[in-house]
Structure 1
Amino acid sequence: MCDDIVWEQTNPDGTRSATLAGTRHPGVTFTYAFFIPAGVWDQPHSHLADAHLVVAKGELRLGYGNRLDRDAATHHPQGSFLHVPGGAQHFDGAEVDTILIGTAVGPWSTDYAPGEPA
């Protein structure tokens, strides 16, 4: 399954994303894939909408708060289901290559905590 994803965007840190079904337009449900390379962590941020995630490959590390604290991040191995509430400040990363499959309702944005790099 993960080998068939056609990645639409690759970011400078190596993360990649793809919309698998639907669109990210307001009020529309969409499903997306997100790849986090080993060793990459994202600064604290929030999203407008709830995200429902399955760890399809690897292991997601996820923590809540407005300061990146790798030691406080919980481990979510392959097969885990997570709900990240819209508006919740969180940070995430991976120590191994990780792929997430998520579902949300548009519009979608990633809003970084004040003072954090985008």
Structure 2
Amino acid sequence: MYRQRQEKTDNILAEKALQTDEFLSLGDKSSTDWDKAWSNFRKKGKKTFFSQFSPNKYVTWNPKRSNYPLSEEVDPIKRTERSNLRIWTGPEFTLVGVIIIVTVLLVYTILVPAK
């Protein structure tokens, strides 16, 4: 008796699970998963030159520890030279420099008429 009741309950639960799976697989045709749609749209979007540029390809963000002797590390002139070199070779400096150069060339092109 208990076994029959248990089998009947299991069959009912299995049938409900199957109906639920069928319902979920059909889905509501009018609803749209906008997050998924937007991510697909962005993936399919046209890639520009700058969207493919990555400074990580050209810049080492975690350089290895210097092999200089401690006396050179403590020397204020060497330390200043090293910090200046770090500024000059940083990606921010390069980006700002490129922006300034392009801006100057653009302003020059617009303001100076072609003769």
TM-score, with length taken from structure 1: 0.17
Which structure shows the bigger proportion of residues in helix conformation? 2
Larger Rg: 2
The structure, 1 or 2, with the larger RCO (C-alpha pairs under 8 Å, 6+ apart) is 1
Which structure shows the bigger proportion of residues in strand conformation? 1
TM-score, with length taken from structure 2: 0.17
